[in-house]
Structure 1
């Protein structure tokens, strides 16, 4: 069984780690607010999401948004604007709370009552690698039936746990060539 890549890209190959591609795809499925937080509309949308109920406010506080209710009210009414540090805290809290809220829904969609979801592995880009050093890497598909650890690590924003879950629960199922798919151009799946 191959080991993990240590010096990826030393001959010109380009790609991202598989777990990063999965996190991007899960983020896309989560449906984050598209308007940037630097615009008033994006800021208000995030603040409304974080303050719509007592449960949402508590989750925002647990996610690191440590401001008073009075300050939140002033931001919502437009009387004051948050500083750059607070804008970052709002964005981080919003993404954390949104991930927690959609994790259970995504997990049910991806597991599909044990049927799983087909995942497409698009191989890394070798266009800049000299011809004698290029490997033949094929486009592969795999049906992933157990998404629990992957979605849990994604929801917790734990990069190391997501990498471990992705490699051990999914990529190794590709067989002896699993090391070729540690880095990919993209990972595709629909839920």
Structure 2
């Protein structure tokens, strides 16, 4: 079995870690508010999502949104505008709470009917000198249990997500190391 890639991009290859591409795809599947947080509409939508119940408020506080109720009310009423740091906190808290809320539903969809087919698009070697290029091909395989991947994603644990993803791609056989970095990972739920 190959080792992990030590010096990715040394000869000009480009791509992202497979686990990062999976995280992005899960975020896309989770959906959510499209308007940017720095617009009035986007901010209000996120604040309503984070403050609609006591449970939501607790989750937002646990996710890092630790402003007072008075400040939240001022933001909701439009009497005050959050600074850039607080806007980022609102966005981070929204993403965290959204992930936690949709994880169970997403997991059941991904695990149903024997798992989900995953497509791996190999890394981009257009800037790699010809003698150093590898023959890489588009690959697909089936992931039957998504539990560890979705749990790590919903908790925001990048290291656990990478470990869970690596455990899945070893099913590609001796070529799994070629797909540690990819241009895209595609799947539907």
The answer to whether the superposition gives a TM-score over 0.5 is: yes
Q: Which residue of structure 2 lines up, in the alignment, with residue 120 of structure 1?
A: 119
TM-score normalised by L of structure 2: 0.98
**Match for residue 178 of structure 1?**
176
Residue 45 of structure 1 corresponds to 45
RMSD: 0.9
Cα distance per residue 1:73-127 (max 9 Å; x no partner): 11111111112221111111111100000100110010015x1000001011111
Cα displacement (A) at 1:32: 2.6
Structure 1: distance between partners of 2:129 and 2:75: 55
What are the residue-to-residue correspondences of 1:34-183 with 2, within 5 Å?
Answer: 34-112=34-112, 115-168=114-167, 170-183=168-181
Q: Deviations over 1:137-171 (max 9, x none)?
A: 11110010010000000011111000000001x11
Q: Deviations over 1:45-97 (max 9, x none)?
A: 00000011111111111111111211111111111111222111111111110
1:15 corresponds in structure 2 to 15
Runs of 5+ unmatched residues, structure 2: none
Could you say what secondary structure the match of 2:140 adopts?
Answer: strand
Q: Number of aligned pairs?
A: 189
Structure 1: which 4+ aligned runs deviate by more than 6 Å?
none
